[in-house]
Amino acid sequence: MSQADLFDSKRAEQLKQLGMDLGADNARTALHIAREVAEDICRRRGVVNADDVGRVLKHQYGIDTLGPAAGSIFKGKKWRFTGNWVKSKRTTNHSRMIREWGMC
C-alpha cells in the first residue's frame, strides 16, 4: 500500500465492506458445518446439544466458536426441544443449563 493510500476514505470503506463480507461468509460456512455435525450426532445418539457440536467443531475442524451464529444451530423445522436441560461442560458457560435437541 502506497503512502497516498493511507488516508483514502473510499478505499477504507471498500476494505471494511470486504472484511465484513468475508466474515459473514466464514460464519455461514461454520454454521453450515455445525448444523451438519448436529444432525450427525443426533442421528447416532437420538439427542444433541450445543456442547456436543462445539466439541466436534473444535477437534475435527479447528473451529473454537461460532460467535453469535451459535444461537442458530437448532433453528428450523427439523429440530425440536426435547424438554431436557443439561449442564454445559464448556468452561466459559460456567455450568449453565443448555437445551437438548432432537430431530423431528
User: The domain containing residue 28 runs over which residues?
Assistant: 9-103
**23 occurs within a structural domain:** yes
Chain CA centroid to CA 60, Å:
14
Alpha carbon distance, N-terminus to C-terminus of the chain:
53
**2 occurs within a structural domain:** no
Residue 28: per-residue pLDDT: 84
CATH number at 96 reads: 1.10.10
Sign of the CA dihedral with 54 first, then 57, 62, and 65 last: negative
Query: Tens digit of pLDDT for each residue in 44-68?
Result: 999 999 999 999 999 999 999 888 8
Residue 95: per-residue pLDDT: 95
**67 occurs within a structural domain:** yes
pLDDT band at 20 (very low <50, low <70, confident <90, very high): low
